[in-house]
Amino acid sequence: MTLVWPDAPGDSLTIRGARVIDPSSDLDGAFDVTIEDGIIIAIDPAAESARGLVLAPAFVDPHVHLRVPGREDEETIASGTAAAAAGGYCAILAMPNTDPVVDSAAVLGALIERAREDAVIPTGFMASISKGLEGQELTEMAELARLGAAAFTDDGHPVVSAGLMQRALQYSAVTGRLLALHEEEPTLSRDGQMHDGAVSAELGLAGWPSVAESVMIGRDCDLAAYEQRPLHIMHLSARESVTAVRAAQARGVAVSAEVSPHHLCLTDDTVRTLDTNRKMNPPLRSEDDRLALLDGLRDGTIACIATDHAPHARHEKDAPFEEAPFGVTGLETAFAAIYTHLVEPGELDLGLVLERMSAGPARIFGLPVPRIEVGESANLVLLDLDATWTVTEGGFASKSVNSWLLGETLTGTVVKTIADGRVVHAA
């Protein structure tokens, strides 16, 4: 089983009067949803309550850095999954770029055992494509897959060698697991600190150009087509990348893609603040890129919103921009950020967002698709779209506070999260 967490019986409860939206089941209306022992047993028409309560399939995040093993000061399985529960998630997948790297059965096995004790929601672990993320030798993928690796990725690093990428694709026929790729041509991105454009020119920061991402996507889609294997591209950031993925899909390549909330909401203009919580990899790009990402999300080229939740110690982020590490946290703010920045202003439809945060990622990674149907295990998020809240350092379940939203007031709170039949978060 790919997703693990402690065994416990399911809960029984009824959620009354919320607007129930399940894009996968074409459901949108006021219902009372009754759960018994963790299973949805009744969905009955109801009078809609006055409050802006929405009940939707809980979210699935296939891109989370839990920092275990190695940086338990930044996040743990317990704190990271608690953050996910608070953000409305019923399942997450953790990245293997830890210390040591998740590249052996011993490390993966220890993580799975720990998650069976500590995870607040069902949690899966990806293993690395290459040993030590060094891009030289493949990990023992068959054994790792059998033990429960959810997918394979060298996230944080590209698979630089086209030859190794081809071997990994060929071998994925044995494991049946998806390869998830961080696309970055290192001789083009060099020591880039932000998007290569007018803002980097003005600030004097080394540029990480869009083309460093898209040329690798082009290469890997060609390899995937040649090997007739599926592929997943993580955290798209540029218009060129959306174009490359869309073109590959049009010619029948089984390539999927994800985008982060921060790439949907922000542009490189915000780096002028020199706030190190605006420093991510891939970098925030131009408004034109942001609009292309929104288009890709709407037309299905990008089927998944993933947070790339990347906790970092305060003292490491509290440094000059070039010295600070890449990445921001996102689990606890993803929905509210997107709702406030994109749904309320009319850039994205609420139903589309709910689908791209739940069924979209679940389908890509072969995880159970959260559905609001009688007989299904309850994987639900209850949202209050009338409530506002201010993002503060003290308000996080995560052990880290490197959020780009600190100080912002957002609309939309997670009132309750139910994961695999159990209430895991109640505000």
Partner 1 sequence: MTETVHLRAAPELPGEPPPPAPSRRHLLGVSDLDRDDVERLLGTAASIARSLDREVKKLPALRGRLVVNLFYESSTRTLSSFDLAAKRLSADTMAVRSSGSSVDKGESLRDTSLTLGEYDPDVIVIRHPHIGAPQLVAAATRAHVVNAGDGKHQHPTQALLDLYTMREALGRLDGLHVAIVGDVLHSRVARSLIEALALVGARTTLVGPPTLVPRGIEHMGCEVSSEIETIGSADVVYVLRMQRERMLAGAAYVPSLREYAAEWGITAQRLRRGQLVMHPGPMNRGVEIDPQVADSDVSLITEQVRSGLVVRMAVLYDLLAGGPIDVARGLEVA
Pick the stretch among 49-57, 81-89, 338-346, 400-408 that binds partner 1 (CB under 8 A): 400-408
Asked if 319 touches partner 1 (CB under 8 A), the answer is yes
Extract the tokens encoding 212: 């460093």
Pick the stretch among 37-45, 106-114, 303-311, 312-320 that binds partner 1 (CB under 8 A): 312-320
Rounded to whole angstroms, the Cα distance separating 325 from 307 reads 17
C-beta of residue 117 within 8 angstroms of C-beta of residue 6: yes
Measured from the CB of residue 191, what is the shortest distance to partner 1 in angstroms? 7
> Which one of the listed residues 308, 349, 384, 386 is annotated catalytic?
308
Measured from the CB of residue 200, what is the shortest distance to partner 1 in angstroms? 7
Measured from the CB of residue 400, what is the shortest distance to partner 1 in angstroms? 12
Extract the tokens encoding 420: 């695999």
Pick from 54, 149, 159, 401 the residue near partner 1 by CB under 8 A.
Answer: 401
Measured from the CB of residue 422, what is the shortest distance to partner 1 in angstroms? 33
- Residues that bind partner 1 (rule: CB under 8 A) add up to a total of 30
Asked if 9 touches partner 1 (CB under 8 A), the answer is no
Rounded to whole angstroms, the Cα distance separating 29 from 54 reads 9
State which residue, 19 or 317, has the beta carbon closest to partner 1. Answer: 317
Measured from the CB of residue 319, what is the shortest distance to partner 1 in angstroms? 6
Contact pattern from residue 179 through residue 218 relative to partner 1, giving x for each residue in contact according to CB under 8 A and a dash for the rest: -----------xx----xxxxxxxxxx-x-----------
Pick the stretch among 42-50, 104-112, 342-350, 399-407 that binds partner 1 (CB under 8 A): 399-407
Measured from the CB of residue 24, what is the shortest distance to partner 1 in angstroms? 37
Pick the stretch among 34-42, 239-247, 271-279, 291-299 that binds partner 1 (CB under 8 A): 271-279
Asked if 406 touches partner 1 (CB under 8 A), the answer is yes
Q: How far is CA 288 from CA 86, 327, 347, in A?
A: 32, 22, 14
Asked if 318 touches partner 1 (CB under 8 A), the answer is yes
Pick the stretch among 57-65, 99-107, 316-324, 341-349 that binds partner 1 (CB under 8 A): 316-324
C-beta of residue 31 within 8 angstroms of C-beta of residue 44: yes
Residue 308: active-site member: yes
Asked if 389 touches partner 1 (CB under 8 A), the answer is no
Asked if 287 touches partner 1 (CB under 8 A), the answer is no
Catalytic residues: 308
Residues that bind partner 1 (CB under 8 A): 190-191, 196-205, 207, 273-277, 315, 318-323, 392-393, 401, 406-407
